[in-house]
Amino acid sequence: MASNKIQFRSIHELKDPALNNKLAQKEFQEEIPVEDFLGDAEQNGSSTSRRDFLKILGFSTAAVTLAACEAPVIKTIPYVVKPHDIIPGVPNYYASTYFDGFDFASVLVKTREGRPIKIDPNPAAGDLGKTNARAQASVLSLYDNDKVKQPKLDGKDETFDKVDSVILTGLADANTAGKKIVLLSHSLPSPTFKKLFAEFKAKYPTAELVTYDAYPHSAALDAAQEVFGQRALPVYDLKGSELVVSFQADFLGDYNAASLETSYAAARKPGASMLRHIQVESNMSLTGANADSRYRLKPSAVNKTLIEVYNAIVGGGTSDKTASEIAAELKAKGSKAVVFADGSKGAQVLAHLINQKLGSVAFTGKANLLKDFDKARYQEFLGWVNAGQVGVLIANNVDPIYSHPKGEDFKKALAAKKVDLVVAVADKKNEMYKAAKAVIPVANWLESWGDIEPQTGVYSLMQPTIQKIYKSRQIEESLLVWKNGKNNAANNYYDYLKASSASILGGTSFNKALYNGFTTSSNATSLAYAGGNAAQAVAELGSFKPSELELVLYTKPSMGDGTQANNPWLQELPDPITRMSWDNYLTISPKDAEKFAIDNDLNARMQLDGSIVNLTVNGVTIKDVPVFIQPGQAEGSVGLALGYGKKDSGATADTGVNAYPLFDGSNLTVSGVKIEKTGEDHEFAGIQLQNTLMGRYEIAKEVPLADFLNVAFDDEHKGWNKPLEYHTISGALPARKIDLWDAFDDTDGPHFNLSIDLNSCTGCGACIIACQAENNVPVVGKKEIRMSRDMYWLRIDRYYSSRQKVEVYEGLKEGMAVPELYGTAFGDGGALNHPADNPDVIFQPVMCQHCNHAPCETVCPVAATSHGKQGQNHMAYNRCIGTRYCANNCPYKVRRFNWFTYNLNDKFDFNMNNDLGRMVLNPDVVVRTRGVMEKCSMCIQETQATILAAKRENRKVTDNEFKNSCACAAACSTGAMTFGDMNDKESEVRELYSSNRRYYLLEEIGTKPNVFYHTKVRNRVEK
């Protein structure tokens, strides 16, 4: 239970119990570097320095005063002839498909006056309509100012006409000479694209389509080929499962090209059949952080455990204690259990064979068709290049020079002119761009027509939601030109797509399918167990040579494979586990850190600095890699994220180190790792330590499933969620029944509440990006994050907790010394384990709690913040003078102060500093300026628009309308957040309010929030 746990947010807080108080004391002791931003240097010569003047007057007052003198003049041009489908001030929504070669989602694109400004999930598409953080952020990638903006020849701007002439000549020459014409593209599961390429090949018989993915899921595809006889990934559904066991598989992340978080959350509803989750892994992954029981083992030990579990399941037996415990649980659950594995082909094959033996109902038989990389095929392509057999190479927005371990060799081959003509269909001036003679800017998915077949029986359409911003062209348009010739009437890809899709759509009209965004497909590809060489898989896993240090490569929820590395929203998004932003780093266990003299220290400003090492793996060295000490990392293992360190791909993309040279495209685990300290330190930009909550007791509540089922929540002695009571002269009274003020009537009209279920929140961060997009939250950059000046309206706090095995009172009563007592008090079941060895993890989203008795409102001297009748705490930005009294008085630390103007400011050269990037801004939300406070508004612009729309139509607002009115709740794939009207007796939020798991954050201080939480339930037997 919560009272039997210690909670800590970092190793530093665990080492220093007084750290929380130190942080609170430091919170408002910021030095204000105003000289760089305000005023005239000549004023500093006066008897009273401007710094002293600002200290006396108050920085915020002076900043607002000066800002008022510099208010920009913005000219607007009215519609002379208004487009018929645009009403100024009213958004349009278009159903489309997000696919960038790595991620897929069926989405709704919100546009304002012709500009896409927000990505929403398409609820009609079910699990395929769920969006992750990268999908939410993809709208900003449309407005990337570092994009290639027009066609080029030999590095110089040119017209499409001349570029096409050069390419058509090259194609004809290659065809005549019998040389190969290779289209090198990321996985593109588009039936129309494949049909078009077949026609292109008919004209140029030597044409070949070769797939290349930076993160190719090669091991999974090879395993599927062996077990199912088809090169397609299996689709799983956890809704009917009661046990999932994962070996290194981050199935809530990028495992098998599809996250399972939606069905996972559905199966994790607390109850007798609640899904139990066991994770065996080395890194503390997002999936492992959500597990009920987590075994931390180095990769070689994970392989051994998987082999032993397989042996125990198929009847061979095992003497391994951990494996026998896991196997016993799998056998007990039978078909309601499922096993996932990752890291190598052998691991995936054994997992499939275990699931076949169990008859797992999680295996649907459907095929995920998003990936089709073939390593052997790509090696064959490299052979063609080195042999001089390729006449034309067309690279469709891929850069193997960056992401392939032999990228430098490929670069040298191109430089040696082993390919007669290189054409780069590219969005950045990357290595492929520099190697190409002809460059065609690739159109963004929001500017393109297309179709995708993501899985068995599903057909999804993509439509442009904006005219092409620059002179770009999608690969299909180019193929039409090169197939038909220039200026041919048949070169319109929309017409081609519409005609091609008729055979797939059947009786469904193209316009109806386009309106819905997706429809059913006649593709009946199904997977069935047909093979699998267990002995070979065991031999492969056994051939992994253990070493002192072993490396696990992984992808972050923010960065993925690095496709959107130049997106500042994603670079600044803190990692859910480490809570660091703007970096990738080598994760190492606390014990190994001590062994290798690796340091992570807090300086006087509570900023984290860490050691830098040179990382060598099998002869390949990556220099200057920062090291982060990660609780829960297995001893003898280190982790490093892919997708960072992209050179020449934009100012933001060149962040972190490139780990792809260590990745062979198949095996995510590597042995033979060595690290060497450089003697230098790295400055981390962390978010976890900057916010301090008043009090530490029961911030994030949790309860074992057995107690949840068998103990009354309000039991006097063992209650796990006892309602808070105050002892008054009249006796004990419920906390929410006691008021210092007269309550006003809030039953007339809507009264908004937000429910957050800690049992469903996986910490993915999609809600953070959705909030950022909806509310124009600025990017502040690494230096400001390090100064604890992030501007997020919503954060996800990550708490570690460790179980006590000995009650303190009982231990002392038995005569144990306090040091001895605490030396045995913590861990994952083994004695003498340190709390940081294998802690539990809880994710807790925190935003403005919209308190009915808000402490911020009572201290504002200018009434800039006040309470509305609908339950929202309002901010009037033009009244705020930036005293920060409200932030000081907020116990939840959710208010943000604009230290600077973040838009049109070269000091913050991100999307708000250029005309293209500012196109993403939501015109319904003001862009705040320097010197004011801001915070979550519960998306008041959306709730009011929803109410007004219902008023115009003379009807009641439905619960679904309100549920989708709050950006964070609408973006949540697991249903952890539910927004709604408490005065609607049929609303889901009203139903959730009656749950016995409900509690309020810091309820004891009497703020009476309109945000409530649900206790996390862990499905395991506490030892």
At 714, is the pLDDT very low, low, confident or very high (cuts 50, 70, 90)?
A: confident
Which of 90 and 389 is assigned the larger pLDDT?
A: 389
Residue 828 has pLDDT above 90, yes or no: no
Q: Per-residue pLDDT averaged across 16-21, rounded?
A: 62
Residue 880 has pLDDT above 70, yes or no: yes
- Residue-level pLDDT at 329: 93
* Amino acid identity for residue 237 in this structure: D
Q: What are 551's strand-pairing partners?
A: 638, 670
- Rounded Cα distance between 311 and 333, Å, is 17
DSSP-derived secondary structure for 577-637:
TT-EES---EEE-HHHHHHTT--EEE-TTS-EEEEEEEEEETTEEEEEEEEEE-TTPPTTE
**Residues 245/546, Cβ–Cβ less than 8 Å:** no
DSSP-derived secondary structure for 629-682:
E-TTPPTTEEEEESS---TTS-TTT--S---GGG--SS-SEE--EEEEEEEEEE
Structure tokens at 58: 């108050």
Q: Which of 469, 487, 438, 478 lies closest to 157 in space, CA to CA?
A: 438
Tell me, what DSSP letter sits at residue 275? P
Tokens 């010739």 correspond to 485
- Rounded Cα distance between 74 and 69, Å, is 15
Residue 779 has pLDDT above 90, yes or no: yes
Dihedral angle of Cα 883, 884, 890, 891, to the nearest 10 degrees: -130
848 class by beta-carbon count within 10 Å (0-12 exposed, 13-18 middle, 19+ buried): buried
Structure tokens at 662: 């260590």
Orientation of helix 407-415 relative to helix 375-386, angle to 10°: 30
- Rounded Cα distance between 448 and 777, Å, is 28
Structure tokens at 711: 């103990």
pLDDT tens profile 969-1002:
999 999 999 999 999 999 999 999 999 999 999 8
Residue 829 has pLDDT above 70, yes or no: no
Residue 199 has pLDDT above 50, yes or no: yes
Query: Strand 702-704 vs strand 685-686: parallel, antiparallel, or unpaired?
Result: unpaired
* Amino acid identity for residue 826 in this structure: F
Residue 938 has pLDDT above 60, yes or no: yes
- Residue-level pLDDT at 104: 94
- Rounded Cα distance between 175 and 406, Å, is 28
Q: Which helix (H) or strand (E) holds 735?
A: none
User: E-assigned strands of 898-1006?
Assistant: 933-934, 977-981, 998-999
Residue 567 CA to its chain's centroid (Å):
12
pLDDT tens profile 300-346:
999 999 999 999 998 778 888 999 999 999 999 999 999 999 999 99
Q: Which of 440, 441, 930, 913 lies closest to 651 in space, CA to CA?
A: 913
pTM of the model: 0.88
- Residue-level pLDDT at 43: 43
- Residue-level pLDDT at 60: 41
Query: Strand 550-554 vs strand 637-641: parallel, antiparallel, or unpaired?
Result: parallel
**Residues 419/383, Cβ–Cβ less than 8 Å:** no
- Residue-level pLDDT at 746: 78
pLDDT tens profile 272-303:
999 999 999 999 999 999 999 999 999 999 99
Residue 228 has pLDDT above 70, yes or no: yes
Dihedral angle of Cα 696, 698, 699, 702, to the nearest 10 degrees: 140
- Rounded Cα distance between 81 and 151, Å, is 32
* Amino acid identity for residue 292 in this structure: D
Structure tokens at 326: 């896991």
* Amino acid identity for residue 999 in this structure: Y
CA distances from 219 to 188, 231, 257, 316, 561 (A): 19, 11, 12, 26, 16
Residue 44 has pLDDT above 80, yes or no: no
At 51, is the pLDDT very low, low, confident or very high (cuts 50, 70, 90)?
A: very low
CA distances from 393 to 388, 396, 437, 566 (A): 11, 10, 10, 26
Q: Per-residue pLDDT averaged across 867-880, rounded?
A: 91
Q: Which helix (H) or strand (E) holds 766?
A: helix 766-775
Residue 981 CA to its chain's centroid (Å):
29
109: left (phi over 0), alpha (psi -120 to 50) or beta: beta
Q: What are 116's strand-pairing partners?
A: 111
What is the pLDDT of the chain when averaged over all its residues? 86
pLDDT tens profile 91-110:
899 999 999 989 999 999 99
- Residue-level pLDDT at 15: 63
At 734, is the pLDDT very low, low, confident or very high (cuts 50, 70, 90)?
A: confident
Structure tokens at 608: 């984290």
Q: What are 97's strand-pairing partners?
A: 106
- Residue-level pLDDT at 691: 53
Percent of the chain predicted with pLDDT > 90:
68
Structure tokens at 982: 């408490």
Residue 253 has pLDDT above 70, yes or no: yes
Orientation of helix 534-542 relative to helix 345-358, angle to 10°: 140
- Residue-level pLDDT at 17: 61
Residue 834 CB coordination number (10 Å): 16
**Residues 349/340, Cβ–Cβ less than 8 Å:** no
Residues 6+ apart with CB under 8 A from 594: none
Which of 316 and 567 is assigned the larger pLDDT?
A: 567
The region of weakest confidence among 217-221, 813-817, 884-888, 898-902 is 813-817
- Residue-level pLDDT at 823: 37
Tell me, what DSSP letter sits at residue 918? G
CA distances from 326 to 285, 354, 534, 984, 1001 (A): 20, 12, 19, 46, 36
H helix intervals, 147-298: 160-177, 191-203, 218-228, 261-267, 286-289
Residue 39 has pLDDT above 80, yes or no: no
- Residue-level pLDDT at 808: 41
At 23, is the pLDDT very low, low, confident or very high (cuts 50, 70, 90)?
A: low
Residue 1019 has pLDDT above 70, yes or no: yes
Residue 54 has pLDDT above 90, yes or no: no
pLDDT tens profile 941-966:
999 999 999 999 999 999 888 988 89
At 567, is the pLDDT very low, low, confident or very high (cuts 50, 70, 90)?
A: very high
Q: What is the phi/psi pair of residue 961, to 5°? A: -65, -45
**Residues 808/913, Cβ–Cβ less than 8 Å:** no
pLDDT tens profile 604-621:
777 889 999 999 998 899
Side-chain-side CA neighbours of residue 222 (13 Å)? 21
- Residue-level pLDDT at 19: 62
Tell me, what DSSP letter sits at residue 54? H
Side-chain-side CA neighbours of residue 994 (13 Å)? 7
* Amino acid identity for residue 961 in this structure: E
- Rounded Cα distance between 863 and 479, Å, is 62
Residue 689 has pLDDT above 70, yes or no: no
**Residues 338/238, Cβ–Cβ less than 8 Å:** yes
Angle, alpha carbons 167-170-173 (nearest 5°):
150
- Residue-level pLDDT at 20: 59
